[in-house]
Chain A
Amino acid sequence: MSTPIELPKWADVSLVPILAVVVAFLVAGLVVLGIGENPVKATLLLLKGALGSGEGIGYTLYYATNFIFTGLAVAIAFHAGLFNIGGEGQATMGGLGAALICLRLDFLPWYIVLPLAILGAMAMGALWAFIPGYLQVKRGSHVVITTIMFNFLAATLVVYLLVNVIGKPGSMSPETRVFAASAHLPYLHEALAYFGIKIPKSPLNLSFVLALIASAFVWVLVWHTKLGYAIRTVGHSPTAATYAGISIGRITLITMAISGALAGMLAVNEILGVQGRLLLEFSSGYGFIGIAVALMGRAHPVGIVLASILFGILYQGGTELSFEMPRVTRDMIVAISGLVILFAGALDGLIRRPVAGVFARLLKSGA
């Protein structure tokens, strides 16, 4: 990362991340081989489970929705040179924000509750990222460490609230009551049935559409607005930004808040779309996998959507796979995400350098 390695742009944005993923999968294949299963058969089962049926595709896109939100959250922070590892906590707080609105106002019609609940999720997620941003700007504590701490703080806060304050009375498991139907974001099969189109039932809901809108929003924001220009300038060269009269502090705060709001929207998919109540650990690692998604997608919304679909395939296919091959559990996906983060992120040079070498040789023989 520190030594720029010259590559044609198309190779930089597509070839290198694809190679990184291929290497990650090869290593994962070795692991599958190591525990005594056939990696080729596993891959075929996985693909069949994820894409072999309408229901499977629905689940794949439902998981992808989560990854798009958390991936965008990490990516926009990357553009400002910030590393937001707090996606988990921001998503958890987003769930709290949505739940507080729903618990109080779900007697109102959907066109009032739903927008308010979505805004609540975004606001609480934004707040949980804004505070670490503020502490970095005003008090000099690094966002990486504070966002990690804020993940744990969010988790303990929500446990406390669910057990003692907003939990369903008399329930053994820490969760709120089920929200009224007006606070439910329609499933896609319900929404399309309204227009007379029939698709198989799955948890895929309108959040997917929101995720695509959010991707477009990030694209416009980062590359086609003044604010986005300022964000990228701060990320590339804080010194240049200062000379250009851009306030680094202000940009840090705004970027963290947007990043947190995006992570908070994970709750829109999980809480408003599927669960219909607030429960513990609904963010189950999506925040961290968002880092893999952002690195793989080269922090570009198009890349992020594609990477999210890939991880959606892994999640859904992985679940199906674990039924067919009980030895290959869904923990495989966590390991693969780790490998992707390693090869597309920290060991990026390991792939980039040989690719650059090949290009240099091609250019020489061409000239």
Chain B
Amino acid sequence: MEIYATLIAILESGLRLCVPLVYACLAGLWSERSGVVDIGLEGKMLVAAFASAAAAGATNSALIGLGAGIIASIGFALIHGFAAISQRGNQIVSGVAINMLAAGLTALVGNAWYAQGGRTPPLEGDARFQPLIWPGADAIDHIPIIGPIYAHLISGHSALAYCALVATIASAFVLRRTRFGLRIRAVGENPAAVDTAGVSVTRLRYSAVIIAGILCGFAGSYLALGQAAGFLTNMTAGKGFIALAALIFAKWRAWPAMWACFLFGLLDAIAIRLQGVIVPAIGQIPVQAIQALPYLMTVILLAGFIGKAIPPKASGLPYIKGR
């Protein structure tokens, strides 16, 4: 039974850890499906985390915090959109700039405002997204097998975690079934054709970039208001790049994106769990080996050793009329 409890605990922690990845990965999905490469997911999450923590702290409302996080993230998304779409600048360069700007500004402003080495004051109560306990969760918890599944895996997460599932469903549906979604995908594959059909490439790409901004806003707010209790310097710690890896792993599709993020979240949870633990017959498993797995698997996948990941055809290329 103890093994089962451990398994549930790891799954639960994996679920928690995958939420920001899912949002960020979907953000990347929208952006890259429209033909705008986005390696600035990390930076957008970071500004969102900071803005949400600052606003939630000031107003004692997690919802206002979320709103501020989304607005900040959209602001940075628009910088990227302006550089990539209007100015036809290099999208990789712009993404790198976004990441550095976010890392520098959040630490600088955080330190200047709160004088706590870059962190915001700890949040509590209504300023955070508290776990939602589903009806009867405590009563069922002691029932073997099913009880812990209901109490720890289904119930007991913050509202933002459930929203991540909604965001996945919505992204999958809109991108596959609606006119807008099909156009977004078309503009990432063959913008000239979309342009010829009389639809504005610029407008579609800007909407995709803004949607990416909103989703990164959720990701960052979850980090600061759900997972942690406030902002810490560089608290995204590479999650934006793991999300990028998951996006490649999912071959730029919404449902696989969610599963890839869950897998990477689970690996993270296992790594945390195995820290210093001696596994019978194997000995101590180096935590770093598990932490390296997402990156390693992505490289192997990209190299075409297990299937092939092909990005949208026009991603990374600015669109110029009349070419």
Contact = CB atoms under 8 A, between A and B. Distances in A.
Contacts of A326: 115
Interface in A150-202: 150, 152-153, 156-157, 159-160, 163-164
Residue in B97, B101, B244, B291 whose Cβ sees the most chain A Cβ within 10 Å: B97
A2 B322 CA distance: 13
A291 interface: yes
Contacts of A214: none
A135 B39 contact: no
Interface stretch (A231-239, A256-264, A329-337): A329-337
A159 B288 CA distance: 7
Contact of B89 (A31, A333, A336, A346): A346
B295 to A, nearest CB: 4
B83 interface: yes
Given A35-B108, A331-B104, A153 B292 contact: yes
A342 B83 contact: yes
B302 A347 contact: no
A350 B92 contact: no
Given A145-B244, A148-B244, A338-B104, A346 B304 contact: no
Given A139-B304, A160-B288, A337-B100, A346 B241 contact: no
A345 B108 contact: no
A349 interface: yes
B298 A149 contact: yes
A140 B318 contact: no
A339 interface: yes
B105 interface: yes
Contacts of B17: none
Contacts of A2: 88, 318, 320
Contact of B97 (A159, A163, A339, A349): A339
A331 B289 contact: no
B112 A341 contact: no
A341 B111 CA distance: 24
Contact of A329 (B108, B288, B296): B108
A333 B104 contact: yes
A38 interface: no
A3 interface: yes
Given A3-B320, A146-B302, A346-B97, A332 B108 contact: yes
Interface in B261-282: none
B94 A346 contact: yes
A34 B108 CA distance: 11
A144 B32 CA distance: 15
Interface in A123-146: 135, 139-142, 144-146
A363 interface: no
B90 A342 contact: no
Contacts of B93: 83, 291, 295, 341, 345-346
A288 B298 CA distance: 22
A148 B79 contact: no
B215 interface: no
Given A83-B92, A85-B92, A144-B39, A337 B104 contact: yes
Nearest to B89: A346
A164 B84 CA distance: 44
B83 A346 contact: yes
B248 interface: yes
A152 B295 contact: yes
A288 B89 contact: no
B295 A331 contact: no
Interface string B209-247: 000000000000000000000000000001001001100
Contacts of B89: 1, 345-349
Nearest to A325: B112
Interface string A259-283: 0000000000000000000000000
A291 B305 CA distance: 31
* 9 closest residue pairs by CB, A with B: A335-B104, A338-B101, A334-B104, A338-B100, A346-B94, A141-B302, A346-B89, A331-B107, A35-B112
Given A333-B104, A337-B100, A338-B104, 8 more contacts: A85-B96, A139-B305, A144-B92, A295-B93, A328-B112, A345-B89, A346-B83, A350-B87
21 contacts: A1-B89, A31-B109, A144-B92, A148-B39, A149-B245, A150-B295, A156-B292, A159-B288, A164-B286, A288-B100, A291-B96, A329-B118, A331-B105, A335-B101, A336-B104, A337-B104, A338-B105, A339-B97, A341-B97, A348-B89, A350-B87
Interface of A: 1-3, 31, 34-37, 83, 85, 135, 139-142, 144-146, 148-150, 152-153, 156-157, 159-160, 163-164, 288-289, 291-292, 295, 326-329, 331-339, 341-342, 345-350
